[in-house]
């Protein structure tokens, strides 16, 4: 866990007297913290500030990221709050839920979706993927087991080598193919997809990956908000989905 003087302005906070000197004592602490952040970190997007589960610590949500503030607003912390009794990373659950909400703003016609045979699977996993990523290929080999369990697989396209790379060109060819699903399977099994260009969502998917803090592929999100960095066998993914409710239903 890291502790940061907010944007290097701790000295300002310490020398300016009481941090909330210019605010009314009747204002809720959350409002006072928001005003303080506006002064000390004016470029930081603040989605929400509220009390965290840890007494005396406030949660700050910025987009799909979670930070923590001391009550006086002098320090911001980046890290996780762990429920030791239940062995749960509360912060990671919170981040996953927030990130899933951001992902769900992307229409499915801007994803590459594998559905069950009837086309009516109600549950889903969302995967940032590349065609030449070994563990992405391994997960794709199990895609029939996932869709047969009535779970959609929603691919977001992330060329790890960058937008000007060969893998980006291949992903674009997959997206532009007449049968996207068949093209993705060909690409992930070492086959050659005919080169094609068209309007595609790859850059927007890459921007979304940056927003959620992607560090490698595959990055899997279950629709219950669980975030899984890396490969996980289909059987485990299916079990977690079946034993949970989607974020939207909570």
Residue 230 structural domain? 102-249
Domain count, the chain: 2
Q: Is the dihedral of CA 69, 30, 71, 7 positive or negative?
A: positive
pTM of the model: 0.79
Question: In this structure, are residues 217 and 136 in contact, taking their beta carbons and an 8 Å threshold?
Answer: yes
**What pLDDT score does 59 carry?**
95
Q: Are residues 19 and 127 in the same domain?
A: no
The CATH number for 46's domain is 3.10.450
Let me know if residue 94 belongs to a domain.
no
28 plus 113 within the same structural domain: no
Q: How far is CA 56 from CA 12, 46, 69, 79, 153, in A?
A: 23, 19, 9, 16, 41
Segment 201-224 mean pLDDT: 94
Average pLDDT over all residues of the chain: 88
Residues 163 and 235 placed together within one structural domain of the fold = yes
Q: 230 and 136: one domain? A: yes
Cα–Cα distance for residue pair 224/250, rounded to 1 Å: 9
Note the pLDDT tens digit of each residue in 148-193: 999 999 999 999 999 999 999 999 999 999 999 999 999 999 999 9
In a domain, 208, yes or no: yes
My answer on whether 150 and 41 are in the same domain is: no
Give, in degrees to the nearest 5, the angle at Cα 68 between 62 and 70. 130
Structure token pair of residue 225 = 């908000």
If asked whether residues 244 and 161 sit together in one domain, one would say yes
């Amino acid at each position: 866990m890291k502790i940061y003087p907010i944007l290097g302005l701790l000295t300002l906070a310490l020398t300016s007297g009481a941090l909330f000197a210019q605010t009314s004592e009747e204002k809720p602490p959350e409002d006072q913290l928001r005003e303080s952040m506006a002064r000390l970190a004016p470029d930081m997007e603040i989605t929400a500030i509220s009390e965290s589960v840890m007494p005396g610590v406030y949660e700050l949500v910025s987009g799909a990221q979670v930070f923590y503030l001391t009550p006086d607003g002098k320090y911001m912390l980046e890290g996780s709050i762990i429920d030791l009794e239940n062995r749960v990373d509360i912060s990671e659950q919170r981040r996953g839920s927030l990130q899933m909400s951001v992902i769900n703003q992307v229409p499915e016609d801007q994803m590459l979706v594998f559905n069950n045979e009837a086309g009516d699977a109600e549950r889903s996993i969302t995967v940032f993927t590349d065609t030449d990523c070994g563990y992405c290929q391994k997960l794709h080999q199990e895609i029939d087991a996932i869709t047969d369990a009535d779970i959609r697989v929603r691919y977001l396209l992330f060329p790890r080598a960058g937008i000007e790379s060969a893998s980006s060109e291949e992903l674009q060819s997959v997206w532009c193919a007449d049968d996207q699903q068949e093209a993705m399977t060909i690409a992930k099994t070492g086959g050659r997809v005919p080169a094609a260009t068209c309007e595609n969502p790859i850059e927007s998917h890459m921007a979304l990956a940056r927003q959620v803090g992607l560090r490698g592929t595959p990055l899997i999100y279950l629709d219950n908000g669980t975030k899984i960095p890396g490969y996980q066998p289909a059987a485990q993914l299916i079990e977690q989905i079946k034993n949970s409710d989607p974020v939207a239903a909570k």
